[in-house]
Amino acid sequence: MRSPIKAEQIVVNDPIEGCARKIVVAIDESPCCDNALTWCVKNILRPNDALILMNVQPKTPLFPHPSAIDVSELVLTLNERLRVDSHMLLIEAVGKARKLAPDVKIQAISLKGDPREVLLEEIEILDANCVVMGSRGLGKLKGTVMGSVSTYLLHHVRCCPVICVKPE
C-alpha cells in the first residue's frame, strides 16, 4: 500500500466529501484524453458528482554513468520538468472542465510511476464509481507490444470503465 497523497501532488483540491459519485478521468497529453474529458463532462457528470483528474509522470530514467560523472543535478532538473509539465497539463484540463461544467467539484492529482499500476491503485483507494480514459487506437498488436493503459485498466478496475475512442 502506498503512502497518502502528498500536498505537492494535488494541483486542485475542491472538497468532494458528500458527492454522489467519484468520476476519474486519466489525463495525458494526447488528443484522445482531451476528447475523453469533454465526453465525460457532457455525458456522465451530474450536478453532485466529483470529477477527479489524474496524470501520471513517468519514473525518472536511471542513467548508466561512470562514477566520475555526477548526474544528480540532471535527474533533479528532469524530475522538476516532469512535475511542472504534469501540473500544467492538469491545470489546462481543470480549466476545460470548469468551462463545460462550472459548478462541478474537481480534484486534480499528479502522480508518479507506471501509469497502469498507479492509476489502478488510486482508483481503488478512492473507491471511484467510474474511470474514463481515452484510447489512441493503437490496435491489438501495437497495444499489446507498447502496453495500453486503457486496456490494462479495462481488465483490472472494479468500477465502471469507459474508453473513449478518437472521433472520426
Average confidence (pLDDT) per 10 residues, the chain, 168 residues: 60 90 94 93 95 89 58 77 92 96 94 92 95 75 58 93 83
pTM for the full model? 0.84
pLDDT at 144: 46
Structural contact between residues 135 and 161, judged by C-beta atoms closer than 8 angstroms: no
pLDDT at 68: 52
**Domain residue ranges of the chain, discontinuous segments joined by +:** 7-165
Per-residue pLDDT tens digits for 124-133: 999 999 999 9
pLDDT at 142: 45
Topology adopted by domain 7-165: Rossmann fold (3.40.50)
Residue of 26, 29, 30 lying closest to 40 (CA atoms): 26
Report the DSSP pairing between strands 130-135 and 22-26.
parallel
Per-residue pLDDT tens digits for 65-104: 555 566 677 777 888 888 899 999 999 999 999 999 999 9
Q: Which residues contact 120 (CB under 8 A, 6 or more apart)?
A: 152, 153, 156, 157
pLDDT at 59: 77
